[in-house]
Every structure is written in C-alpha cells, then in structure tokens.
Amino acid sequence: MTGLTTEVTYGDGPAAGKGVTGGAHSAFPGPPAARSVGALWWLRCALLLSVAAVFPVGALAVFKFGADRLVVADLIAVVYSVGLFAAFTTALWPLRGLRNWSRQDRIGSCVLLFLGVSYATHLSWELGWLLLHPWIAESRELAWAYPWWAYIDGGDARYADPTPTLLMMEMLSVTNGLIGAIGWWRWRRRPGDALASRLFAATAIVHLYSTSLYFGGELIDGLSSVNTARWLDLWIKFGLANAPWLVFPCLVLWWSTRMRRRA
C-alpha cells in the first residue's frame, strides 16, 4: 500500500494545478494536509486488513479450535461484504479532512481503490479457484480449501461443481485482472495516463457484463445453487458480496471519461 505522494498537476479538486503531493489519483489519496492523508490511509488499511485477515483467521478457528464452520462462514461473509463497501466509500464519508475535496476527487479516490482491490481479488481468490477447483471440490474438510468453501457453503454451490459458463466467466475475470493490473501499473508511474484510463474503462465494462451474467444466470435458474432458506446466504454471501462489481464500475466509467476529457 505505497504511493501516497503522487504528483498531481490537473483536476478540479484541492490539488488541481498546484503540483502538490496527494490528490484523488492515488488509491490512498488526500489533500496536502498530512493529517488528512494519514486518517484516510489508516482507515482504509484497517478495513482492508480486516477483510484479508478474516479468511485465514476463520480457517484457523474452524480447523484448529473446532468452531462451527457455517457460523464462521457467516462471519466471513459479513466482514468481507461490509468491509469492502466501507473501504471503497471512505472518500465519500463526511470526514473533516476531506471537506475541500470536490466530487471528482472523492469519486476518483473511490474508483482507484476499488480497481486495485478488484484486480487483486481476480488474481488471488479467483485465479486460485480457477487453477485448483478440482481439488477444492474434493477438499471440503481441509483447512487450505476453506477460504473457497466459506463461500460455496450456502453462497453458490456452482463453485463446487462448475458449469462451462462459470469457468469461462472466471477466466474472463482473471484476464480482466491482468489487463487492469497493467493499467494500474501505468497509472502509478504516471497519473493521468490516457492508456491506463482506457484500460480501467474496459475492465469496468467487463465487470458489468460478467457480474450481470453471474447474477442473471442464477436468477433465471431460480437460484438453484444458492441456499435461499437463509437470508444471510442469499442477501449477503450471494448478493452483497458480489454487488460492488455492479455498483463501482459505473463510477469507473464516469470518472475515466472525465479524466480522458481533461487529459
């Protein structure tokens, strides 16, 4: 989580045209005041670290201390879903240090954090499942497979017995992550890079397409792979956990269009 002092020389927010450090074009940005940068940085770190840590901690609780695996899976789903939405929207909160941020500053901050976390998710949880899904399906009682089974149990049984469509969607997501990571790398080297902005927009379109197909296909099938008897499985594991990839790509498209126009 580096790169807190990105040079910004354009925009309509507090850093616009001043060549100051910070700004809305970093994943952990802030206006010139160091306290503002630090507050936002620590808040986001705390939220994202809780999301990342809940998976190994959950596996340890189940397989080392004998906790109920379904209860722990529920806790993981809540921490993951709420933690991601909270982290992605921190720049929209009425924080004192962000009072002078423009709308574009705030949305740009949300967008870049969402993109970074999204690409990391594609290249970790989803890539791991894509490569290991035959063994994951056979390893429900093994600790190493629990980060996937915590979602499969009640959230979406298709990941235990994937259809060709699901496999193709996950291949598309991993490819999207690779393309997006290239854009992210270019943006970190040169904020405002036109190609990076186009890559962000392209990955946002793929997010909207694949997530719509993911939700829509299961809805048309009558939610046969989701445990609809439990509201937490339906609305949190299946619904809220995947919702960011329908909500935030719309912000990405708005923001990237503004960035290309200003460039």
Write down the pLDDT at residue 37.
59
Residue ranges of the alpha helices (H) in the chain? 34-63, 69-88, 103-121, 127-137, 146-152, 164-189, 194-220, 231, 244-262
User: What's the confidence (pLDDT) of residue 30?
Assistant: 38
The SS3 call for residue 119 is: helix
Q: Are 262 and 11 in contact (CB under 8 A)?
A: yes
**What residue ranges of the chain have pLDDT lower than 50?**
1-35
Instruction: Identify whether 220 is part of a domain.
Output: yes
Q: How many domains does the chain have?
A: 1
**Distance, CA of 221 to CA of 218 (rounded, Å):** 5
pLDDT for 5: 33
Q: Which two tokens stand for residue 11?
A: 């925009």
Instruction: Kindly tell me the burial class for residue 263, based on how many C-beta atoms sit within 10 Å of its own C-beta (0-12, 13-18, 19 or more).
Output: exposed
Residue 21 counted as domain residue = no
Dihedral angle over CA of 203, 122, 183, 245, nearest 10: 40
Q: Does some domain include residue 123? A: yes
Three-class secondary structure of residue 103 per DSSP: helix
Alpha carbons 249 and 251: distance in angstroms, whole number: 5
Instruction: Report d(CA 248, CA 84) in Å as an integer.
Output: 11
Extract the tokens encoding 68.
């109920």
Q: The tokens of 248 are what?
A: 């935030």
Phi, psi values for residue 24, rounded to 5°:
-80, 10
Residue 20 lies in a domain: no
Please indicate, yes or no, if residue 109 is contained in any of the structural domains.
yes
Residue 14 maps to a domain = no
Residue range of the domain that includes 143: 34-262
Q: Kindly tell me the burial class for residue 143, based on how many C-beta atoms sit within 10 Å of its own C-beta (0-12, 13-18, 19 or more).
A: middle
CA torsion, ordered 170, 3, 250, 174, to nearest 10 deg: -10
Asked if the structure places residue 246 within a domain, the reply is yes
94 backbone dihedrals φ, ψ, rounded to 5°: -80, 60
pLDDT at 48 (0 to 100): 97
- Rounded-to-integer distance, Cα 206 and Cα 190, Å: 24
pLDDT of residue 95: 82
Other beta carbons within 10 Å of 34: 13
Per-residue pLDDT of 32-79, as tens digits, reads 344 455 788 889 999 999 999 999 999 999 999 999 999 999 999 999
User: 227 in a domain, yes or no?
Assistant: yes
Residue 96's pLDDT is what?
80
